[in-house]
Structure 1
Amino acid sequence: MLNPHWLRTFKTLIDIGSFTQAAEKLFMTQPGVSQHIQKLEDMCGYTLIKRQKRSFEITAQGKLVYQYALDIERNEQNLLSKLSFNEPYSGQYRIACSGAFSLLLYPHLVELQKQYPLLTPSVEVAPNHKIFESISVGNVDFGLVTQLPDPIYFDFEVIGRERLCLFVPSEGLCHNIEKLVKLGFISHPDATHYLKYFMSECGHAELSKMNTDDFPISGYINQLAQILTPVANGIGFTVLPESVRKSCLEAQNLMTWDIGKPVYETVFLVKKKDYELPVRCNTVIKLLKGLTCLRGE
């Protein structure tokens, strides 16, 4: 078995990239760090780093050992988390949600951690289908989705709703579908789902008969905070949750085109079928159920 102290020294060195700084972080001397690395290399039987005058470069074998050290650290964290299964205010909980929800929820999760420092969040941002995948394989404890889950594979409940808005430039506000087509659509990971749902639910007779392919693509971006930037600059329109507007630095150049009736998506809290959530997750879920921002208010 590889010496865990040598592995920790090696991982720290690779993470920091400096023998001097690694020694400072580990409260060791620089020769002590070098000795740990040499002993680890002797035990592995391979050179793990190529030493140069004032730097070093990790070898192919070194990369494998580094990944091994990461896996050990991750497994230890998972074990400690599982051991604290029945602890309501400690351990890591894993939640997956959309980027829009992460903007809304994360500040509240941080406040919860300030109250219970040992209760640590792991938040994965993903579209609906990826959230279902992560829940199915056990990468997250639970998620928030706006797509109705399959009851064969998931347990779920309604936890709130979010309003979808059609964002257009404030300059030369569109008043008809032809102008939307001329602007073109700013696409993003959830774009097709949002646009399709908006068109079917807004109550606008002409828009409800159209397909998402009827709008030419004016651009694509997968960074939530940047999706509205081209719209604010007169390039295209898009559909996003209303809350995303707060993340746009040029929000004053945006308007929502309120055609038909307001469109809301139901928000589902979902977990794997028959999966018993750690007690700490119930602490988080109780917080989420009390948030007005999840009720579309």
Structure 2
Amino acid sequence: MINLEWFRTFKVIYEAGTLSAAAQALFISQPGVSLHLSSLESYAGHRLFDRDTRKMIATERGTMLYNIIIDHMNKLEEAEHNLHRKSKAEKPTVSVGMSTGIFQYMLEAHIAELPFNLVTRFGAYPQMLQELTNGTLDLILTPQKGTQHNLDYKPFTQERIVLICGNQTETTAFDALLLKDDRAALKTWLSAQNFYTTASDMEHLNRFWTASFDTLPSFRPKYVLPSLGSILRCLSNGKGFAVVPDFLCCNEIAGNAVKVAWEGNPPIENTLYFGKRKHSAYPEEIKYLEEIIARNWPKCPGQLLPQD
């Protein structure tokens, strides 16, 4: 029979990107992670990841499996989390929902200094809003505001969704088309390029493409990676395109590792909010997290401030 722990290990490898990072997250040895993965692949009858010396890249079947199990795994983790909160009442456990990029860039380095337990959740914004309402999450970072009366939203920054490319990407023809504002030719040229995206989220690309060309992209990105951070590392000093929030690539742009190819027309801008329940059980812990994230948020040149 299949072991459900294999699915947990598979999910963490998919999201962490390496066997060593997965082993750290699961508190087991790297050989143990490799054994779980090889057992699952043997059971499934095909490879779920392509391996190299630096990262694990999900195969098409691996991506399909992740999309099939992610909702079920999240529900099991929620049940585990609720049980943990009841059994560890002496030390608060705060649950936060955000994108993987925000977590990696703004919060990950500060986990060890937190004076409370932390559980992070990565998912779609509507799902996070619902989990905030029902008490599964205590704080979310979101560009979308719900209409629930028990929730409070505080704007803290604004992001712009931009088209970037590696600094080795040849864009002379693209720049010429931009000067002419030839949308049909721009769409054709971009559709033939190599694009990067994440496995679980094509929202940025779809919104950018729809705003600029009044249609969804007709192509599939060539490279599907675990996170936006992985995309930036692959693009840095390389070739290819991706659509990402500007705050995630400030350092890479400043260091000329990547460049902004196009801000879109019209540009896509979002106000980001801290969302929480009006009567939270952990107001001090939530304030602590908000201060860490706000303090470490990159100040991109020309970045807009929220207006509401």
Shorter-normalised TM range:
0.5 to 0.7
Cα distance in 1 between the residues matched to 2:282 and 2:200: 30
Cα distance in 2 between the residues matched to 1:286 and 1:219: 33
- CA-to-aligned-CA distance 1:213-236 (integer Å, 9 cap, x gap): 24443232233332235545434x
Matches within 5 A, 1:39-78: 77-78=84-85
Q: CA deviation at 1:133?
A: 4.1
- CA-to-aligned-CA distance 1:72-126 (integer Å, 9 cap, x gap): 9966741365456xxxxxx22211100121123215743xx63xx6323322233
Letter in 2 for 1:267: L
C-alpha root-mean-square deviation of aligned residues, in Å?
3.9
Is it true that 1:226 corresponds to 2:236 in the alignment?
no
Is it true that 1:132 corresponds to 2:105 in the alignment?
no
Matches within 5 A, 1:81-230: 82=89, 91-107=92-108, 109-110=110-111, 114=113, 118-151=115-148, 154-170=151-167, 171-173=169-171, 174-175=174-175, 176=177, 177=186, 178-189=188-199, 191-199=201-209, 208-228=212-232
Q: CA deviation at 1:238?
A: 1.5
Q: CA deviation at 1:129?
A: 3.3
Is it true that 1:264 corresponds to 2:269 in the alignment?
yes
Bigger radius of gyration among the two? 1
CA distance 1:162–1:71, shift in 2 (3 Å): closer
Match of 1:255 in 2: 259
Cα distance in 2 between the residues matched to 1:75 and 1:151: 23
- CA-to-aligned-CA distance 1:144-182 (integer Å, 9 cap, x gap): 012232335743232222232211232202324233121
Aligned to 2:285, which of 262, 272, 281? 281
SS across alignment from 2:249:
helix
CA distance 1:109–1:92, shift in 2 (3 Å): farther
**Bigger shift: 278-287 or 98-107?**
278-287
Cα distance in 2 between the residues matched to 1:156 and 1:73: 28
Letter in 2 for 1:284: Y
Letter in 1 for 2:231: I
Gaps of 5+ in 1: 1-14, 18-69, 85-90, 201-206
Contact residue 93 and residue 281 of structure 1 kept, 8 A: yes
Cα distance in 2 between the residues matched to 1:166 and 1:179: 14
Cα distance in 2 between the residues matched to 1:256 and 1:295: 16
CA distance 1:132–1:73, shift in 2 (3 Å): closer
Gaps of 5+ in 2: 1-26, 30-76, 178-185, 304-308
Match of 1:29 in 2: none
Contact residue 127 and residue 189 of structure 1 kept, 8 A: no
SS across alignment from 2:132:
helix
Letter in 2 for 1:179: W
SS across alignment from 2:217:
helix
Contact residue 184 and residue 215 of structure 1 kept, 8 A: no
Aligned residues: 211
Cα distance in 1 between the residues matched to 2:223 and 2:212: 23
Letter in 1 for 2:153: F
Contact residue 134 and residue 140 of structure 1 kept, 8 A: yes
Cα distance in 2 between the residues matched to 1:71 and 1:149: 22
Q: CA deviation at 1:142?
A: 1.4
